[in-house]
Structure 1
Amino acid sequence: MKKITIGLLVCGVVLSVGSSVNAEGVSTTKAKVEFIQGDTEGEVTPTPNPDPNPEKKPDPDPNPLNPTEPGNKGALKFVDLPQIDFGKVELAPFAQKYYANFEKRQAKTTEGTMVEGLYPTMVGVQDLRGGAKGWNVTVSHNGVFKKIAGDKDSTVNAYLALKDGFVTTKSFDAATDVEKYKPESMVNATEYKEISSENGRSNIEILRAEKGKGYGKWAIGFGRTDVITSGKGLDGNAAEGSVNTSKQGLNPSVRMTVPTQVIDTDEGGNYETTLTWTLNNTL
């Protein structure tokens, strides 16, 4: 968060004659400052790491992907947006669930050296408008992945879901202030919130700061690095069964469901999709 420091110069003079002090007169002066909305353009500060794991990594460098987009600049903006990667997955003759890799991010240690670590899928927001006016974040997805190379018309229906949204900040030191201004995660720890489905695209709210909340820099993370997929069972997240290492160690809080369908993988099976993240400045 960009800090504004106000310096006040106070001069005091005390005249002493013997044991008594006589004030001949009292005068006052004024000091002025004009506060404007912060933007911190060009100033890079780490994103608060929203990993509840007690052994979490340092706060990572921010990753807004495209800083030139309107949502990534100004007094209210995104400072971090996720790059979700499900890696290489095997086709199945039935509806299948897959889980995302944890994000690999760069971070600076207290000694000043750069390290790479694993982090939850995260979204970061900074509000320096003043007044804690409130805001919310929504995400939408149309449920369709398109082939990157080869036949551009080749598509796969696949639906995304999130759970275990954890919110954190470094803008306030006192725990009482954190709780006072903390936005609310709209994605709970136990139930998946679908951001796309066979019913089509919809805007799903994931983070909300009511009026009077949300000032400063906040991050919401989905998942925690000490809770990982087991690699067991059909989807790799069962309690029992043999371990498939390709399905082990993933983030169970970011899920993709692929219904049974014919998928073309002849000329390279790389597919991608677009998620739309919206930061609303009014509620």
Structure 2
Amino acid sequence: MKKSLWLVSALCLGSLVLSVSTVDAAATSATTKAKIKFVDGQGDDKVEPTDPGDKTDPGDKTDPKEPVKPIDPGTSTSGPLKFVYIPDVSFGENNLVKTTGNAYYYAQFSQVNGNTERPNFFEVNDSRGGGKGWTVSLSNNGIFKNADGHEIKANLYMNDLNIRSNSDLEERYYPTVTTRLNETVNGNPYMRIESSSVLATADGTQKQGYGSWTVRFGSTGNGIDQKVDGGKTEKRNPAIALEVLPGMKDTASAYTTDLVWEITDSK
């Protein structure tokens, strides 16, 4: 009697197990989130200047933005809104071709990675999020002085400013460069650099300015011949012109002047 009861119980259990194993499990899903938040950069990282390219290059807007080493080390600033590179501007050695009236000289092109010519340029980096805007201005007092303290007066002019994004942003986020060319030099329109002359502006109301930007003066494709030392000619950049006013010139040493670059928050 006990044996029969055991068999019945075993068979019932086996039947129950088979019944459970044939039930399909229903498919289910659930969703979770991944999260990241950004804060303004501190600008304490070392950033090398980026190859400014040239607007005449076929791949100017699409070529990779590679770091470069300008022959002129230039100057940089620090902070979340900063200049990565601002240049010295050299007008080279030039023959005194005029002893009366105004004389005009043009800037030497920048050289990077040895002897590769590029347009003169400056570079801005804004690591503050959201496109808060900024303005770049340049000041010059028009006084050049040599090592002996002798002074000459000269007017600095610029034109053909063009901008390149190093951050692959949409064009609606691009800053704008000045188009206010209200002076004429040798028949061409220029802006005269005086006190706080605005070169480029990122509009914070349009979320502009975040990222890395190169502003170029002219193009190597537009170089013009300038008479230099020894009666030779050299290709110069007509986008940066110097109008030297009449007066005594000394050839004993070079004349220099201060270029004061400023970048300010648009707020």
1:49 and 2:35 correspond: no
State the one-letter code of the partner of 1:95: N
Partner of 2:165: 169
State the one-letter code of the partner of 2:94: V
1:209 and 2:202 correspond: yes
Task: Give secondary structure in 2 for the equivalent of 1:226.
Answer: helix
CA-CA distance at 1:263 after TM superposition? 1.9
Measured in 1, the distance between the counterparts of 2:217 and 2:179 equals: 8
Task: Give secondary structure in 2 for the equivalent of 1:270.
Answer: coil
Q: Counterparts in 2 of 1:136-215, with a 5 A limit?
A: 136-147=135-146, 149=147, 151=148, 153-172=149-168, 177-187=169-179, 191-196=189-194, 202-211=195-204, 212-215=207-210
Measured in 2, the distance between the counterparts of 1:54 and 1:228 equals: 15
Partner of 1:4: none
Aligned residues of 1:49 and 1:60 also touching (Cα < 8 A): no
RMSD of aligned alpha carbons: 2.7
State the one-letter code of the partner of 2:123: G
| CA shift in 2, pair 1:35/1:182, >3 Å | same
Measured in 2, the distance between the counterparts of 1:165 and 1:158 equals: 21
Partner of 1:76: 81
Measured in 2, the distance between the counterparts of 1:218 and 1:182 equals: 9
In terms of mean alpha carbon deviation, does 38-47 or 154-163 score higher? 38-47
Aligned residues: 227
Partner of 2:38: 35
Aligned residues of 1:78 and 1:125 also touching (Cα < 8 A): yes
Aligned residues of 2:75 and 2:85 also touching (Cα < 8 A): no
Measured in 2, the distance between the counterparts of 1:34 and 1:178 equals: 22
Task: Give percent identity, aligned residues only.
Answer: 31
Aligned residues of 1:145 and 1:156 also touching (Cα < 8 A): yes
The correspondence for 1:273, drawn from 257, 260, 263, is 257
CA-CA distance at 1:21 after TM superposition? 1.7
Measured in 1, the distance between the counterparts of 2:52 and 2:23 equals: 62
State the one-letter code of the partner of 1:171: S
1:227 and 2:227 correspond: no
Report the structure, 1 or 2, having the larger helix content. Answer: 2
| CA shift in 2, pair 1:218/1:277, >3 Å | same
Measured in 1, the distance between the counterparts of 2:43 and 2:66 equals: 18
Task: Give secondary structure in 2 for the equivalent of 1:158.
Answer: strand
The structure having more radius of gyration, on CA atoms, is 2
State the one-letter code of the partner of 2:158: L
Measured in 2, the distance between the counterparts of 1:50 and 1:186 equals: 20
Aligned residues of 1:62 and 1:79 also touching (Cα < 8 A): no
State the one-letter code of the partner of 1:279: I
| CA shift in 2, pair 1:270/1:60, >3 Å | farther
- Relative to the length of structure 2, the TM-score reads 0.75
1:258 and 2:263 correspond: no
